[in-house]
Structure 1
Amino acid sequence: MVLKIHGHAVAPLVRLVAEVCQEKEVPYELVNVEVYKGEQKTPAFREFQPFGQVPYIDDDGFILYESKAICRYIAKKYASQGTPGLVPHDPKAEALFEQAVSIETSNFYPFALGIATEKIIKKHRGLEPDEARVSVLLNTLNTKLDAYEVILGKQAYLAGGNITLADLFHLPYGTIVFEELAYDMLESRPNVARWWKEITSRPSWLAVKAKA
């Protein structure tokens, strides 16, 4: 049975799960969920994802939600195929990976998500963005990226010399902030710009973007 991703093709975290499937050469089927019509809030959907959010996966009857948990599951289950080392096994490498995941979770995701919410999600809901909040979020994210510049000046990726899920976790909302909304945060940070170019030019991510 082909792994099924329940979600909308352009939903950022659906794209993330699809990207990791591409990295690990895992065939998948996207089961469309009409999120702008609220299909994810229906009882039928909440039976499998009680929070009413996309995505969740069905892997031959195994149901799993929360995108980062899904990505870890895919990377570990299919460790022997596709891109190696997305979740390292060596204790020290794994610790550095977990550190990098925490960096994304605490210092990138909430601010990039907040910007996307104000500038895109509110628009789809017919609401006006809170530009004052956007300004605060942008200023905070800029400060965080200064630390990224230091880290990436010493190593190729956030967890060391090899790409991991921690890097890939930045793709969905980073693409929105840096590319779709075109906020210029990279030009003054050559190490971040180099890293961003590398992870966004991966065939796996380009394939997922092309399907949207």
Structure 2
Amino acid sequence: MAPIKVYGPAYSTAAMRVMATLYEKNLDFELIPVDIIKTAEHKKEPFLSRNPFGQVPAFEDGDLKLFESRAITKYIANQYRDQGTDLLFRDPKEQAIESLWSEVEAHHFDPAGAKLNWELAVKPKMLGGEGDQAAIEENRAKLVRVLDVYEKRLSESKYMAGDRFSLADLHHLPTAEYLLVTNLKELFDARPRVTAWLADITARPAWKKVLELRNQALNQTN
């Protein structure tokens, strides 16, 4: 049994972020499904003992217990730095740039993208509801501003933090993956550098493994 455990559904964007990092590092792990739709298992014990905020994923590596996906990915990238893909930079200035664009993803790209995914995909397809058009328009405008910044950034470097793939890129993958199958794909397609960047990072073998697990989990919920 793998010493690394990830608690959460394979279709959760936060869990997908962690799994992508583990696959990039060629690490074995055990995915322990958590039902967040029918029984709200994440809001009850024993899950709350792993994440007191009742959000997925929770993570264990031996006796270390963590939650918050970006904290988990950073731990994995540091702890297993010499294994698999190096997702961090060693030079302090490069580290600062990687940290900056990781913060941009967490505070600008993901909040707008996650809300749009909720309104455009989760509500109508998984919960049988309708999206809030006001929320969609508000967050679409926010996403446009972010993608404009990204188009300029990617004219200066191949990846968000420099000339190679890092956590600053990986963290975008789950939310972007869901957005690209909505009508918002046109926003990405209208920006050639963003389009090329996404084509590059979504083609990574580690990400394809994540999608295999995600698709299996989604099929089981239908």
Query: What range is the shorter-chain TM-score in?
Result: over 0.9
The residue matched to 2:30 in structure 1 has which SS?
strand
2: CA distance, partners of 1:144 / 1:48? 33
* Equivalent in the alignment of 1:153: 155
Equivalent position of 1:133 in the other structure: 135
How far, CA to CA, are the matches of 1:116 and 1:186 in structure 2? 15
RMSD: 1.4
Pairing of 1:55-204 with structure 2 (within 5 A): 55-84=57-86, 86-123=87-124, 124-180=126-182, 183-204=185-206
Distance 2:47 2:183 in 1: 31
CA distance in 2, matches of 1:147, 1:2: 40
Q: Quick one: percent identity of the two aligned structures?
A: 34
Structure 2 unaligned spans of 5+ = 215-222
Q: Which moved more, 1:105-114 or 1:20-29?
A: 105-114
Distance change in 2, residues 1:61/1:181 (3 Å): farther
Distance 2:35 2:142 in 1: 33
Q: Distance in 2 between matches of 1:47 and 1:154?
A: 44
Query: How far apart are the structure 2 equivalents of 1:8 and 1:180?
Result: 21
Unaligned runs of 5+ in 1: none
2-side partners of 1:159 and 1:73: how far apart? 18
Letter in 2 for 1:109: D
Q: Structure 1, residues 68-102: CA drift from partner, whole Å, max 9, x if none? A: 00000001010001001x12121111011111112
CA distance in structure 2 between the aligned counterparts of 1:182 and 1:60, rounded to whole angstroms: 41
Deviates more, 1:160-169 or 1:100-109: 100-109
Q: Is the aligned partner of 1:12 residue 2:22?
A: no
Structure 2 partner of 1:48: 50
Report deviation, 1:191: 0.6
CA distance in 2, matches of 1:153, 1:41: 43
Q: Is the CA contact (8 Å cut-off) linking 1:57 and 1:70 kept in structure 2?
A: yes
Distance 1:180 1:165 in 2: 25
CA distance in 1, matches of 2:154, 2:33: 37
Distance in 1 (alpha carbons) for counterparts of 2:111 and 2:95? 23
TM-score of the pair, normalised by structure 2:
0.90
CA distance in 1, matches of 2:210, 2:109: 22
Q: Distance in 1 between matches of 2:121 and 2:189?
A: 23
CA contact (8 A) 2:21 2:76 kept: yes
| Structure 2 residue 27 is matched with structure 1 residue 26 | yes
Cα deviation, residue 187, structure 1: 2.0
Distance in 1 separating the partners of 2:192 and 2:31: 36
Q: Which moved more, 1:64-73 or 1:183-192?
A: 183-192
TM-score (norm 1): 0.95
Distance in 2 (alpha carbons) for counterparts of 1:126 and 1:193: 31
The match for 1:210 is 212
Mapped to 2, the partners of 1:7 and 1:208 lie a distance apart of 13
Distance 1:181-1:206 versus aligned 2 partners, 3 A rule: farther
1:71 and 1:164 map into 2 onto residues whose CA distance is 11
1:105-146 CA distances to partner (integer Å, 9 max, x unpaired)?
Answer: 222011001101212333334432101210121122112211
The Cα shift of 1:18 comes to 0.6
Q: What is the count of residue pairs matched by the alignment? A: 211
